[in-house]
Structure 1
Amino acid sequence: MQDKPRIIVIGAGVVGLAVAWHLAKSGGEVTVLDPEDPASGASSGNAGAVSSGSVAPLAMPGVLRQVPGMLLNPAGALRIPPDYLPRLLPWLARFVASARPARVAEIAHALSQLHYSAVEHHRAMLAEEGALDLLRGDGQLQVYFDDKHFAKDAAGWTLREQYGQKIEILRGAALHAFQPGLSDAYQLGVYSPDQGFSTNPRRHAESFARGVARMGGVVLRGRAQALITEGGRVTGVATDAGPLHGEYTVLAAGAWSTQLLRPLGYAIPLESQRGYHVMLPKPGLNLSRPVVAADRKAFFTPMEMGLRIAGTVEFGGLERKPNPKRAAYLLADAARVFPGISTAGCEGFWMGHRPCLPDSLPVIGPVAKWPGLWCAFGHGHLGLTGSAPTGALLASAMLGPTPNTSLAAFAPERFA
């Protein structure tokens, strides 16, 4: 083996780029492979939140009680097209099973270990790339109609506090003084002062790509067609431009990752959580931090380009065309949450594929049956948050020193 191990990272989203950045910093000879430009997929269009306190899985008992009502509403925050439901049923069965209290506790513990230092990891990486201006630490605000509405999410907030997230409850006049322009319908807010956000998620991820190049790595345009195996291990990647060989291969291809794993005998239940956003260049609204309307799970994030309104969850696979109605609902949310907002100049809409696993835990670590192959995918709606700590954790596990955090909870074999 060479002094600098050759490592191929499949996927140039924010997770793959963060992994590649840390591997290059740890002494690897890194090649990143993606058919598109770096950060041009889901990493470019997310809500920008860096939520180190996000430890509550999607499948909470309280959430499950809300799902039927959301499904019956075509404009609901969660949408499953009727013709896709039969295909999704096995995934939904796993999702429901992961909502057992004991399993929720295990998931929360694992997510806390992954996310607890996310803001610090992002800050350190951006500082090295001269892009620290992208990360703001003004916290996040989630708003509710009243105490009854808040009670639906109370278990999740209890988990966050259990793992150290600071929160402040704002009511009535105090909430509206803190966030001017908010509809009077919202009378309770939860402010999380320690959370951060990115003012340009695509530029954020691109700074990681520049760092990879600065440290001697290469970012290639090309499509991974199959993993190359020899002697019972993975030795590289077959691409549309020929083979790439390395001592290690990291699969970080987001929602497309399982297509390469399946021929090796791993059936990972990965779904695309299709998310939408619209951009308002001049909203006429002053926001200092992301504001989340809890009833719609809609994020309002101030960015360099204007105000981004992101949200909705639509399950429909990788091939279905984007649904313009989902974006229109976001504009309706904007007018309802902030009655004085201006939607003039709205720049159309965007849709991206967030790789989502039923237990809300990403797949991170080695593939036991295939030495040489490692995984880093399935972060769902927390890809930006989890990218930097995932990169640091995986690089340490691969090249040393051995990390204190165990990767067992994130192993692909948990779905065997």
Structure 2
Amino acid sequence: MTETANKQGAPVQAPKQVVVVGAGVVGVATALALQSYGVAVTLIDRGEPGMECSYGNSGAISPGSVAPLALPGILKTVPGMLMDQDGPLSIGWKHLPKAASWLVAFAQSAEPKRVAAAAERLNDLYQGAVDAHAALAQNLGVSELFMRRGHLHLYPDAGYAQKDATGWQLRAQYGYQVDELDRAGIEALEPHAPQGYAHGRYLADHGTILNPLRYVQSMLHAFVQRGGKLVRAEVKAIRPDDKGWAVRTGEAALDAQRWPHVVVAAGAWAPALLKPLGMLLPIESQRGYHAQFAGAQHLVERTVVLADKKVFIAPMEGGLRVGGTVEIAGLTAPPNPRRAAGIERIAREAFPALAGLEAQHWMGHRPCLPGSVPVVGHIDAIQGLWLAVGHGHLGLTGSLPTAQRIATGMCGPQALPFWQLRTAG
């Protein structure tokens, strides 16, 4: 199976009905995009839409993140990070046997030719994401949720930034403007910038969603207002038969229905649905954590990245959100208090003004493929099966381009992308 789905076999005319499994930001956006073609869409999720990674992410719209996670030299740095259980990368040792094959594939993805190919695919998918989200937020009537003040990456010094040289070179290759700043330049943008950071890299044309959950809920509201159907049920299996696709939930009326097409946008839970179909999708949950401090959003003016800590800081509607790092421990292990405490400690060290404020912790499952390239499109070997999975850290960024790609592949070209069309009832 390839990382990017084939385009052959897509129907010429839009189908009358489609079912989308998974109501995170990717699934909800896909449902909205298909609906713009007049398709009757049923959206199914076991929980409240947008309450997984779509709720707890940093809100970053980051099309310049074209570098995959596995870069040349990764093998030299990973062992040291693994020994530090409070560092940017941690592995739950009980999960290591299950994750071993994924880790091997991850390391192999760092080969320079694979990195270059992945960056090209990521740029192809994510370019234009900032304009897309700005347009959709305005269209939905929630333009206040979109902020276009750029992203500021902070380093202890210019020499430290060379550790991320490959990523910055790839951004430049694909045309992203980067301004290098000294401490005075940093403070001109961020008066409360943490001490100890003398070098900055500023991406002016990046954005932030100030409340990812409310953003997803706004999409969902528009979808339902236009006649979309939301079903809260746990999808236990998807199966094709001579009448179409069945979605097994244990609810008789729903199980009896058939759809000509199914879109799987189930994030880290997608492999379990695809395995019975003979598809072994190598998605691993990279568990991310955040700490949020109510009322402290004034401490930053935009998304700020502490590059040495692999931590994103964002001014959310509800407070200052500090999140990031990677923990590989599977889908069933409980949240690791040590990881959450580590994020909180980084935040308090960076911003002494947080003293006395309580932190709220969260953990979510990022669905990551070894090469970092999502699988988006029709799977030719299985008629009517479409995938929109594996976006890793960039689900919010990639949600709208992914949705448009699915809708165009299934229904044909459209004069305008769905984010420029009227979405409310």
Residue 21 (structure 2) aligns with: 10
> Within the alignment, does 1:151 sit opposite 2:162 as a pair?
yes
User: What SS does the corresponding residue of 1:153 show, helix, strand or coil?
Assistant: helix
Q: What are the residue-to-residue correspondences of 1:17-416 with 2, within 5 Å?
A: 17-231=28-242, 235-242=245-252, 243=255, 244-283=257-296, 285-338=298-351, 340-401=352-413
Deviation at 1:62, TM superposition (A): 4.0
Q: Which moved more, 1:37-46 or 1:394-403?
A: 394-403
- For 1:115 and 1:288, the matched residues in 2 are separated by 24
CA–CA distance in structure 2, aligned partners of residues 331 and 63 of structure 1: 26
For residues 369 and 284 of structure 1, the distance between their equivalents in structure 2, rounded to whole angstroms, comes to 48
| Contact 2:74-2:107 at 8 Å conserved across structures | no
Distance change (3 Å), C-alpha of 1:285 and 1:123? closer
Tell me which amino acid in the other structure corresponds to 1:151.
Q
**Equivalent position SS for 1:229:** strand
Per the TM alignment, residue 402 of structure 1 is displaced from its structure 2 partner at its CA by 8.1
Amino acid corresponding to residue 239 of structure 1 in structure 2: T
Question: Which amino acid in the other structure matches residue 320 of structure 2?
Answer: L
- CA distance in structure 1 between the partners assigned to 2:355 and 2:22 by the alignment: 34
Gaps in structure 2 of 5+ consecutive residues: 1-10, 416-425
Contact 2:181 2:200 in 1 (8 A): yes
Deviations for 1:206-234, whole angstroms, at most 9, x for unmatched residues? 11111211222111101111112114x85
> Which residue number in structure 2 is paired with residue 407 of structure 1?
none
CA contact (8 A) 1:234 1:371 kept: no
Structure 1 gaps of 5+ residues are: 404-416
SS in 1 for 2:58: coil
**Bigger relative contact order, structure 1 or 2, given CA contacts below 8 A and separation 6+?**
2
Q: Deviations over 1:344-392 (max 9, x none)?
A: 3424311111111100011111122210110001100100000011001
TM-score of the pair, normalised by structure 2: 0.91
Does the residue aligned with 1:194 lie in a helix, a strand or coil?
coil
Are residues 294 and 79 of structure 1, via their aligned partners in 2, closer, same or farther at CA, if it must alter by over 3 Å? Answer: same
Q: Which moved more, 1:240-249 or 1:300-309?
A: 240-249
CA contact under 8 A between 1:24 and 1:212: conserved in structure 2? yes
Distance 1:152 1:3 in 2: 48
CA shift digits 1:109-159 (9 cap, x unpaired): 000010001112212222221112111100000100112210000110010
Partners of 1:278 and 1:346 within 8 A in 2: no
Q: Do the aligned partners of 2:297 and 2:316 also contact (CA within 8 Å) in 1?
A: no
Is contact 1:10–1:32 with CA below 8 Å preserved after alignment? yes
**Which stretch shifts more, 93-102 or 174-183?**
174-183
**1:166, distance to aligned residue in structure 2 (A):** 1.0
Equivalent residue of 2:299, what SS? coil
CA–CA separation in structure 1 for the residues paired with 2:409 and 2:41: 16
Q: TM-score, normalised by structure 1?
A: 0.93
Shift of 1:66: 2.0
Query: Which amino acid in structure 2 is aligned with residue 160 of structure 1?
Result: R
Q: Is the 8 A contact 1:293 1:337 kept in 2?
A: no
Q: 1:39-63 CA deviation, whole Å, 9 max, x = no partner?
A: 0111100011000111000001144
Provide the secondary structure at the position in 2 that maps to 1:353.
strand
More deviation, 105-114/274-283:
274-283
Cα 1:360/1:402, change in 2 over 3 Å: farther
What's the RMSD between the two structures over aligned residues?
Answer: 1.8
TM-superposition CA deviations, 1:236-270 (whole Å, max 9, x none): 31112131321110000111011110001001111
| Preserved CA contact (<8 Å) 2:93 2:329 | no
Deviations 1:141-198 (A, max 9, x none): 0100112210000110010111111110001222233322223311100010000010
Alpha-carbon offset, residue 343 of structure 1: 4.4
Q: Deviations over 1:37-95 (max 9, x none)?
A: 11011110001100011100000114443211111111111100222222211101111
Greater displacement, 151-160 / 207-216: 207-216
- Aligned partners of 2:224 and 2:186: how far apart in 1? 45
8 Å Cα contact 1:234/1:373 also seen in 2: no
- Tell me the distance in 2 between the aligned counterparts of 1:259 and 1:32: 18
3-state SS of 1:300 partner: strand
Q: 1:285 deviation in Å?
A: 4.6
SS of the residue corresponding to residue 152 of structure 1 reads: helix
CA distance in 1, matches of 2:77, 2:193: 25
